[in-house]
């Protein structure tokens, strides 16, 4: 394979240029949406310390956020590459807890793993979900995946809103934030700018409310960490535009600390914090070895996750570890993947990247 072709697929130079090639409006919107795994939105203007100072004595004594074991089992199945089993568990939670939004939020995490995997491609040397067209194609369960995803998010939001009216708990605000952010995540992938912005603003408001009630909620502050890290990584031109548009600034180092805290104390967001920290270190700082260090525990825990494996192979190639990358990509090509769309996309990407290692 020629050097020019290889660089077109995987190149540090292309990686470095990527954030500057993206449409500025989309970059600024991403600074609000922070398209990632779940509920990654919060305001940098309110630090955890500021929220703690404004919290009431009752809020300061809020019980730690917890979920039932079956919720963690659903997440475990999602990250293990078994989204349909995760959806089955989530639906059992929906039945056993009909007034809770939790089951629907978990269902959508499983659905997102399929949507994201099927949308991944290589641009500027990076494996990522870049764009997804609207589709009416049905999955193996006879559903239009995107429609089922939006419907679950709407139901989660409906239930969370009703529960907030009754008890006003931090957990329900978190679920409302996650439901809105899940919608923003899909709309952003489909380039539906107005719908993305509307859902993103709603998600941001709910994250702030969750932190007001429970300043120790690591899952909510994880969004703040991603915002801090991301917005401080923008190019100088975009930072100037951000200033004039009134979008708050951020601190990458503070964001790093918050994400590391989320990896340690998060309940629903622990794996998400680790994954996006690794991906961001690759994309914005070109710190491939450090990114691999963060990603490795996820891959060790979930060796059958095709997305984790592809990004690790991407990092190995960037570090010049082509033999290790080739071995990993050969294993990925033979990996049993239950969803046919994810399987097809994974095999295609693995073949392209394997060619780049030769």
Q: What is the pLDDT of residues 56-94, one digit of tens each?
A: 444 445 678 999 999 999 999 999 999 999 999 999 999
pLDDT at site 250: 62
Question: Is the Cβ–Cβ distance between 130 and 35 less than 8 Å?
Answer: no
Question: Is the Cβ–Cβ distance between 106 and 71 less than 8 Å?
Answer: yes
pLDDT at site 234: 57
Tell me the pLDDT tens digit for each residue of 289-329: 999 999 999 999 999 999 999 999 999 999 999 999 999 99
Question: Is the Cβ–Cβ distance between 334 and 109 less than 8 Å?
Answer: no
Domain residues for 350? Answer: 3-356
pLDDT higher than 50, residue 14: no
pLDDT at site 201: 73
What H or E segment, with its residue span, contains residue 256? helix 252-265
**How far apart, in Å, are the Cα atoms of 335 and each of 306, 328, 338, 343, 349?**
8, 10, 10, 8, 13
**How far apart, in Å, are the Cα atoms of 239 and each of 31, 235, 283?**
10, 6, 17
Please give the tally of structural domains in the chain.
Answer: 1
Look at the block and give the residue holding tokens 């997440």.
75
Question: Exposed, middle or buried, 201 (CB in 10 Å: 0-12/13-18/19+)?
Answer: middle
Model confidence, pTM: 0.81
The predicted model gives 240-251 an average pLDDT of 53
Q: In CATH, what number is assigned to the domain containing residue 253?
A: 1.25.40
| More confident of the two residues 355 and 45 | 355
């Amino acid at each position: 394979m020629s050097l020019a072709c290889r660089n077109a697929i995987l190149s540090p130079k292309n990686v470095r240029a990527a954030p500057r090639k993206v449409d500025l409006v989309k970059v600024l919107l991403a600074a609000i949406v922070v398209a990632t795994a779940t509920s990654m939105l919060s305001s940098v203007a309110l630090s955890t310390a500021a929220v703690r100072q404004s919290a009431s004595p009752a809020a300061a004594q809020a019980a730690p956020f917890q979920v039932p074991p079956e919720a963690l089992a659903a997440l475990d199945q999602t990250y293990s590459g078994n989204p349909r089993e995760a959806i089955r568990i989530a639906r059992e939670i929906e039945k056993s807890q009909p007034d809770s939004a939790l089951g629907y939020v978990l269902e959508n995490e499983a659905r997102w793993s399929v949507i994201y995997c099927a949308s991944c491609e290589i641009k500027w040397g990076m494996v990522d979900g870049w764009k997804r067209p609207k589709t009416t194609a049905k999955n193996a369960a006879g559903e239009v995946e995107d429609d089922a995803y939006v419907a679950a998010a709407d139901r989660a939001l409906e239930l969370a809103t009703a529960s907030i009216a009754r008890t006003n708990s931090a957990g329900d605000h978190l679920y409302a934030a996650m439901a809105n952010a899940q919608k923003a995540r899909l709309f952003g992938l489909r380039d539906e700018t107005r719908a993305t912005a509307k859902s993103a603003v709603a998600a941001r408001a709910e994250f702030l409310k969750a932190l007001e009630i429970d300043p120790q909620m690591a899952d909510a502050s994880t969004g703040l960490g991603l915002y801090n890290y991301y917005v401080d990584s923008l190019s100088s031109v975009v930072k100037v535009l951000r200033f004039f548009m009134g979008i708050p600034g951020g601190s990458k180092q503070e964001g790093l600390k918050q994400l590391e805290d989320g990896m340690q104390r998060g309940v629903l967001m622990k794996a998400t914090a680790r994954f996006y920290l690794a991906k961001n270190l690759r994309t914005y700082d070109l710190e491939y070895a450090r990114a691999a260090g963060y990603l490795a525990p996820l891959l060790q825990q979930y060796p059958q996750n095709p997305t984790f494996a592809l990004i690790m192979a991407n990092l190995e190639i960037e570090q010049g570890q082509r033999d290790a990358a080739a071995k990993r990509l050969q294993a990925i090509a033979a990996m049993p993947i239950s969803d046919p769309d994810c399987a097809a996309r994974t095999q295609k990407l693995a073949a392209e990247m394997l060619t780049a290692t030769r």
